[in-house]
Amino acid sequence: MKIFDALAANKIYHLAFLLILISPLACINRQANQEDNNPSINSLPEFKYNPNATKLGIIKNEKTTCPVCNTKRDYVYEGPFYSEDEVEGICPWCIKDGSAAKKFNAEFQDPAACDSVEKKEYLEELVTRTPGYTAWQEPRWLSHCGDFCALKDYVGWKEIAHIKEELIDDFTKINEEYGLTQQELEKYLVSNGSLQGYLFQCLHCGKHRLIIDAD
C-alpha cells in the first residue's frame, strides 16, 4: 500500500508540474488565436475612395498611440486633417469607423474641393471616413458616374502616357486653367516635380481622370 501511495503521489506531482508548464503556453496560444481572429489588430482597413493609401505613403508603417482610441498601433495616418485642434498620430481604424472625425469634429477632405455626386452619403464617407492625400495646393477629389472616383496614384506624364486617350477632356480643362499647351503639359508633368499629377479612376465604369497642381 505504501508503494502504491508513493507511485500515485509521484504521478500527481508530475501531472501538476506539467500543468504548470502547459498553462502559460495555453494562455499565449489563446491570446494569439484571439489576435488572429481580430481584424482590427492584424489587417488594415480598406478605403473605397483611397485604396492605395499605404502605397502612397498616406498611411505609414510606424508606431503610434492613437489619440482617438488610445491604442498602440503599428500604422499611422499622415495626411490632411481639417480640425480646430492640433491632432497627430491617428490610426487608420479610427478613420474607417468615423470616430476620428467625430471626436474632433473634423474632416479629411474639404467638401468645397470635391466634385458633385448623386448621394449625400458618398460625400460623408469621403470627408469623414476616408484618408485624404497630400498635394502642392489644396487637394481636390474628382467624381464620375455620380460617385467619387478612387485615388490611384501620384503621376507624371510617363505614368499616364498609355492612357492619354481616356484623359483628353481633363487635358483640355488643365491646359486652359494653367495656360499650357499639350506639349508643355507632357514635358513638365513629372511625379514629385513642380507640376504634379493625381490620377483617379471611376469605381463604376473604370474611366481614369486626372487633375494637377503646381508648387
pLDDT digits (tens, 9 = 90+) for 104-152: 999 999 999 999 999 999 999 999 999 999 999 999 999 999 999 999 9
| pLDDT value, residue 76 | 98
**From CA 60, how far away is CA 111, in angstroms rounded?**
25
pLDDT band per the 50, 70, 90 thresholds, residue 17? very low
Predicted model pTM: 0.81
**CA end-to-end span of the chain, whole Å?**
93
CB neighbourhood size of 176 (10 A): 9
Chain mean pLDDT for the chain: 87
For the four alpha carbons of 118, 120, 126 and 127, in that order, the dihedral sign comes to positive
Torsion of CA 201, 203, 206, 209, to 10 degrees: -30
- Asked which of 1-5, 35-39, 148-152, 201-205 is least confident by mean pLDDT, the reply is 35-39
Q: Are 196 and 135 in contact (CB under 8 A)?
A: yes
